[in-house]
Each structure stands twice: as C-alpha cells, then as structure tokens.
C-alpha cells in the first residue's frame, strides 16, 4: 500500500493511535502522520503509507487551517480543557469592535513561545514529559505567521475562531495570548483542523467508516488512497527523457531544459510515472533527493 489517506481523526485519541489503527487496516509496512493533533483535537490528519512516507516531511511544512472554541475567563495548566484550572477571572462585556481590535494584533508574522505541554524536545526530553513532572523550562520563541484570524461566534464567555497559520503554530498558545490581551485569560475547549496544504477535512474519512471499508476488502481501502504526489501540489514539475530518468534513478544529476533556476521540484518520467523529489543545482541540472522505490510497490 503506497499513498495518502485523509483521516478525520476523532477527539479522544492520539494521532499516533489513529495512525496505528489505519496502518493495521491497510497492512502497511511503513506509515507516518503529517502534523500531530492533540487527543482533544479532531479533524484532518493526512496519513502517509508505504513509499508516501517520503513526502510526509513536506506536508509538515504546509499551512494549516483550524476552527477553535475558546472559554474566556479561565486559564488552565495545558491551555486547553484537559488541564487543571489555574485561575478564574471576570469576563468583560466586550464589544465586537474591541474583540476585532485585539484579534487584529495577532494577525501576521509574530513570535510565539511554544507551550510546555508539547512534543518539542529539550536535551532529548519531550517538554510534555517535563511538564507532567511539574517542571517548566525556558523555551525560545519561534517565528510563526497567522495568515487569517476570524471571529465566527461570540456569546458571553465563549469565542469561536477560524485560524489559518504557518507550521509550528500552537493554537492553545494563541488563545492563551488572546486571553491575556483581553485581560481575562482563556483556554481552548474544542479544536478542529479543517485544512492542511491543499487537503480539506471535507474529503477525509472517519475512523469508523474506514473500519467498515476494511471489512469489505482491500479493494475498498485502495479507492481511498491519494497519489503521493498530491502532497506536492504547486511544486514545479519536470518531465525527464528516458535517458535522463535512467541516470537520475542511479543517483546522478541530469540536465533538464527550461527548468527552474533553483528550489525543489517533483520529477516525472516521460510516461507520467512519478519518480520523486529533486533539487535544482543552479546550473540547469536537477539532482535526486528522494526517489520512489517502485520495485517495492
């Protein structure tokens, strides 16, 4: 099995648990997910099976889309509803203009300090393991970009927001920071990923539906697989001659007329077979970086 499955992960299980279930259903030797979702979160989780794991790293770098529900006036240890309550503060009667003014300050490129309850590692230890032991360490801020931040609903102490952001953005931290700016604190009560790169949650399948299809046989599961090159939508595409394909698949850089001057490209044989990913060297040649092992298919 080689391809990408778009899973609508339910809340209540980890991304890895969802991955392992899917891997068993497909009887795949290799599998990986493209951007972890917290157990509280639901929504789009692209899963790469077999040779498609070679494109997983590129999916991790794509922009993401979320819808989140926030509770104002309460802060927690984790920044979401799974943590213990730290403080309760009164919530003001904010006007739409006041809320919009605060949200406007969080749009665009900015610095964000990752939360302690995250999978980021410090000296080999995931931060969340340190947090579970009651430890807190200094974290360097990272540059992120919030491309869209829209207020969908506001009532009393509850906000619903739609967010489009760059990789590495923590929605829990964004919500906490919005709460600080409002002066009342806030935490996430629900989070749903609605998009990742060119993929949308409307095209994803639920875990129960996937299990039903598995009972109908491997052919039914096959129909869900997206081609691995779908993860590279928007990349320049190079089609190689038979001779160039031969040398490229043996690790050699080859010259391609009218190729981009620089950057990553997706590579195809003359018969439209996807070969993998390459990088331009600047002299008109493309060098192979990650090639698909079709003999293993």
Sequential pLDDT tens for the chain (297 residues)? 799 999 999 999 999 999 999 999 999 999 998 888 989 999 999 999 999 999 998 888 899 999 999 999 999 999 999 999 999 999 999 999 999 999 999 999 999 988 877 677 776 777 777 667 676 777 888 999 999 999 999 999 999 999 999 998 999 999 999 999 999 999 999 999 999 999 999 999 999 999 999 999 888 999 999 999 999 988 999 999 999 999 999 999 999 988 999 999 999 999 999 999 999 998 999 999 999 986 443
- The residue among 197, 251, 201, 234 whose CA lies nearest residue 56 is 197
List, in sequence order, every residue forming a beta bridge with 161; answer none if it has no partner.
68, 151
Q: Give the pLDDT confidence score for residue 140 in this predicted structure.
A: 84
Contact 160, 67 (CB under 8 A): yes
Helices of type H across the chain? 15-26, 56-60, 96-104, 127-132, 171-182, 207-215, 218-222, 242-248
User: Helix (H, G, I), strand (E, B), or coil: what is residue 231?
Assistant: helix
Which of these is catalytic: 38, 63, 203, 283? 38
pTM: 0.90
Q: Give the pLDDT confidence score for residue 297 in this predicted structure.
A: 38
Q: Give the pLDDT confidence score for residue 286 in this predicted structure.
A: 96
Contact 263, 280 (CB under 8 A): yes
Distance CA 297, CA 289 (A): 19
Contact 27, 1 (CB under 8 A): yes
Q: Is 243 a catalytic residue?
A: no
Q: Give the pLDDT confidence score for residue 135 in this predicted structure.
A: 67
Give the angle 289-239-265 at the CA atoms, nearest 5°.
35
């Amino acid at each position: 099995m080689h391809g990408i499955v778009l899973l609508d992960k339910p809340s209540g299980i980890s991304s890895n648990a969802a991955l392992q279930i899917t891997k068993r259903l497909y009887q795949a030797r290799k599998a990986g997910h493209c951007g972890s979702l917290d157990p509280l979160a639901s929504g789009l989780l692209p899963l790469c099976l077999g040779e498609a794991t070679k494109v997983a790293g590129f999916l991790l770098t794509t922009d993401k889309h979320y819808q989140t529900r926030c509770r104002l006036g309460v802060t927690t240890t984790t920044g979401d509803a799974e943590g213990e309550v730290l403080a309760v503060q009164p919530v003001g009667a904010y006007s739409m203009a006041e809320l919009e003014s605060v949200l406007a300050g969080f749009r665009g490129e900015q610095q964000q300090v990752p939360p302690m309850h995250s999978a980021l590692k410090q000296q080999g230890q995931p931060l969340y393991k340190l947090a579970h032991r009651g430890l807190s360490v200094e974290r360097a801020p990272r540059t992120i970009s919030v491309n869209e931040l829209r207020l969908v609903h506001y009532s009393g102490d509850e906000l619903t927001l739609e967010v489009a952001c760059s990789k590495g953005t923590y929605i829990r931290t964004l919500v906490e920071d919005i709460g600080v700016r409002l002066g009342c604190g806030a935490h996430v009560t629900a989070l749903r990923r609605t998009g990742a790169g060119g993929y949308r949650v409307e095209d994803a399948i639920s875990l129960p539906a996937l299990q039903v299809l598995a009972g109908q046989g491997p052919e039914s599961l096959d129909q869900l697989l997206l081609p691995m090159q779908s993860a590279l939508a928007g990349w320049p595409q190079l089609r190689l001659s038979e001779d160039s394909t031969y040398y490229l698949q043996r690790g050699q850089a080859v010259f391609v007329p009218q190729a981009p001057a620089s950057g990553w490209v997706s590579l195809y044989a003359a018969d439209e077979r996807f070969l993998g990913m390459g990088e331009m060297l600047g002299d008109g040649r493309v060098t192979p970086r990650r090639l698909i092992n079709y003999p293993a298919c």
